[in-house]
Chains A and B, each alone.
Chain A
Amino acid sequence: MSKIWVYAEVSNGKVDPTALEILTKARDLAEDVEGVVLGPGATEAASVLGEYGATTVYASDDPVYADYVAQPAAHALYQLIQQHSPDVVLFAMNYDSRDIAGRLSAKTGSTLMSNVFEILGSDRAQTGIFGGATLVDVDLQGSPKLLLVRPKSFEPEPSGGSAKVVPVDIDIPDELKKSRRLERHEEAASGPRLEEAPIVLAGGRGLQDPSNFKLLDELASEIGDAAVGATRAVVDAGWVPYAMQIGQTGTTVKPGVYLAFGISGATQHIVGMKGAKKIVAINKDEEAPIFQIADLGIVGDALKILPQLIEEVRSRKG
């Protein structure tokens, strides 16, 4: 493969960590690895991309890319692609990138593959179905190939390199400035971030009532380095904010230990946590699919076990 591009999101001055994972992988695949980053903070982000293997980074700090949904970025990317002809463009399977890549596919007329687990060559990539239990290799056509890669598919490793920054100066026509972000709200939880925490405690519908999530918070603060997550079932029910959702449409986690309380183990949940080193599941139904992937399974009532576990952890800490 001759030239791979990695599109990197930047927000609040921070480069999306998935971009660094993808860059690390791209280094194995091509001589020429380049980055594209658009929006406030882009120029600074470019140097981080350089540390992870991008030799050239096309960057623009223009706020238009953050203010308006998808259209300006898709427009700019398309222009850049026409000028520089990359063979493959890699994106993280995140909110904004998904929107941009979708529009870009219509412009380039080339294929866009979602949920990529592994990149096998310039025209082949792998995805998983049934929660990742079955792997499917897919041949891709058209140019450039557009791939949306699932977060945490690769381990990020700095290359010790640095990037040449090429400023992007593309005029965005007014008719692409329509869908506008007016406000940004963060529902930040206390403690470590879900995607970075070494221990994740996740609750599902089996916790019976939103107020019981307090038990998970309490256990998390007893353990210290733990974050609390949830299934889509309880997020949709409004028990906890969406930012806590783990799975296909939520956050992908890869902690040292993952504890599931009252979670059935639907494939869409498993795809977001199967990378955990150790899995512990507590479920009162011995047939629950989550037990098939758990290193330790307890068939029992999560609401009885949680307060006991808080006590156990507290007493063992001393």
Chain B
Amino acid sequence: MNIVVCVKHIPDPNIPGELEGGRLKRSGVQGVLDPGDEFGVETGLQLKEAHGGEVTLVSMGPPTAMEAIRRGLSMGADKGLLVSDDALQGACALVTARVLAAAIKKSGPFDLVIAGVESTDGYTGTMPSTLAELLDVPQVTFVKRLDSADGTIRADRQTAEGYQVVESPLPALITVTAGVNSPRYASFKGIMAAKKKPVDNLSIGDLGLSSEEVTSMQQIASVGSAEARKAGEVIEDDGTGAQRVAEFLKEAKVI
């Protein structure tokens, strides 16, 4: 089974975010593999262990995004593909999908593309569906459990009310939720091995995309603060905390 996993390099979510020109500041900020994409890498590795084949990581981002690919390789993926180009700064979801689609097509035939449900920094949650359309394959999003056999996948797809069981032939694209598995840690051996695994560096020119196709169709017009909610009273529970809450509820006329 040939599996492609989308991996995004994002500013470390544990460090409070800063803005730069209305966007999340990225340059000079410690980056990590999006924690949401670790579930995608783990899903890919488990499928490879069950069915054989190869796991290829694809990412679009600045040259530092190589860190995210190396991290996925050290978990056990086989090779990587990074598309970097200055022209891609501030790319919208459609542009990102066009770039990743072109990169995936260039890397050869695939059975399954895996992405996260939404990225931790951008959270548009739409890039994968757009990618599926561009690759002309069906999609199963919000996967929280996955089975695969005989060229078919069957998944539990999370919904607002519960879940659906969805079946699709391959090739297909799936997005995985945080509940789907527990990502493995990279072992020391894995980290050493990752350094020797092949990674292709591509630019827009290598992908045959026109400059129009990679121009973001969203521009930040202005940034402002929302009307801040004022913090109210904060008190230490000295045994009367529950009473205070009950009084509050009474005043709000809910009890």
The smallest beta-carbon distance between B82 and chain A, in angstroms, is: 22
Question: Which of these binds chain A: B43-51, B106-114, B126-134, B200-208?
Answer: B126-134
Q: Does B15 contact A (CB under 8 A)?
A: no
Are the CB atoms of A313 and B255 closer together than 8 Å? yes
Size range of the interface on A? 35 or more
Does B189 lie at the interface of the complex (its beta carbon under 8 Å from any beta carbon of A)?
A: no
Q: Which residues of chain A are near B237, meaning CB under 8 Å? A: 282, 298-301, 304-305
Min distance, Cβ B122 to any Cβ of chain A, angstroms: 9
Asked if A99 contacts B141 (CB within 8 A), the reply is yes
Quick one: CB contact mask for B108-147 with A, threshold 8 Å, 1 for yes? 0000000001100001111111111110001111101000
Cα A130 to Cα B159 in complex, Å, equals 25
Q: Least Cβ distance of B240 to chain A in Å?
A: 9
Q: Tell me whether chain B's interface is mostly helix, strand or loop, or mixed.
A: mixed
Within the assembled complex, what's the spacing in Å between the Cα atoms of A291 and B158?
31
Residues in B neighbouring A142, C-beta threshold 8 A: 217
B168 with A112: CB separation less than 8 A: no
Q: Mark B224-255, 1 if CB is under 8 A from A, else 0.
A: 11101101111111000111111011101011
Roughly how many angstroms separate A148 CA and B131 CA in the complex, as a whole number? 17
Interfacial chain B residues near A296, Cβ < 8 Å: 232-234, 244-245, 248
Q: Are A223 and B254 interface neighbours, CB within 8 A?
A: yes
**B162 within 8 Å of A (CB atoms):** yes
| Complex interface residues of chain A between 301 and 318 (CB less than 8 A to chain B) | 301, 304-306, 308-309, 311-313, 316-317
For this complex, into which size category does the number of interface residues on chain B fall?
Answer: 35 or more
Contacts across chains A and B counted by CB atoms under 8 Å:
271
Q: Is there contact, CB below 8 Å, between B255 and A317?
A: yes
Docked CA distance A286–B254 (Å): 26
Task: Please tell me which one of the listed residues A105, A137, A280 contacts residue B248 in the complex, with CB atoms under 8 A apart.
Answer: A280
Give complex CA distance A305, B221 in Å.
47
Say yes or no: is A36 at the interface (Cβ < 8 Å to chain B).
Answer: no
Given contacts A114-B124, A308-B242, 6 further A-B contacts (CB under 8 A): A98-B129, A103-B129, A110-B217, A141-B217, A199-B254, A280-B249
Which 7 A-B residue pairings sit nearest by Cβ, starting from the closest?
A102-B129, A300-B237, A308-B242, A297-B234, A106-B133, A312-B246, A179-B138
Can you list 25 A-B contacts (CB < 8 A)? A70-B138, A71-B139, A74-B133, A95-B141, A95-B158, A103-B133, A106-B133, A107-B133, A114-B123, A129-B24, A132-B226, A133-B226, A134-B19, A135-B225, A136-B223, A137-B222, A178-B168, A182-B164, A198-B254, A242-B177, A243-B161, A292-B231, A296-B244, A298-B234, A311-B242
Q: State the B residues within 8 Å of A (CB).
A: 17, 19, 22, 24, 92-94, 97, 117-118, 123-134, 138-142, 144, 154, 157-169, 172, 177-179, 217-226, 228-229, 231-237, 241-246, 248-250, 252, 254-255
